[in-house]
Structure 1
């Protein structure tokens, strides 16, 4: 799987009949893609993090995404970080 880190921007989309949404958009090989949409539920205004996977629109509660981001700040590290900070052995 190829990893890319394209330029990313936040866009606001607002329409009279569809409410207001936040989009995370990137341009990949000259084509614009909406990668993530944040929407509000019509019934209770709860926020949802929406991505498209194959033929499905997957909505995850925004609170789960926020918790993941907060946890990641302290707990997610690269493989090289673990090699330097956890797996080093003292040969003394």
Structure 2
């Protein structure tokens, strides 16, 4: 099933299909939301990278950013790619 894009708290989010009801019998097909992008503070928490290092990675082009007005957003996929590129066998 393709991802469904909805707006949640002013952000575009992709709904995750969890394939059916949970243990309580509640339909879980439309929860939880996975954000398309996060602010700097959330990216720091998600990755465990320090704020200064995160800004260095942005400056070097290792992490993509999206500027919307005064907000700096980091696509979650960019964080995933960073982690994947730096994994050690």
**TM-score, normalisation: structure 1:** 0.33
Per residue, is there more helix in 1 or in 2? Answer: 2
The structure whose RCO (Cα within 8 Å, separation 6+) is larger is 2
Per residue, is there more strand in 1 or in 2? Answer: 1
User: Looking at CA atoms only, which structure, 1 or 2, has the larger radius of gyration?
Assistant: 1
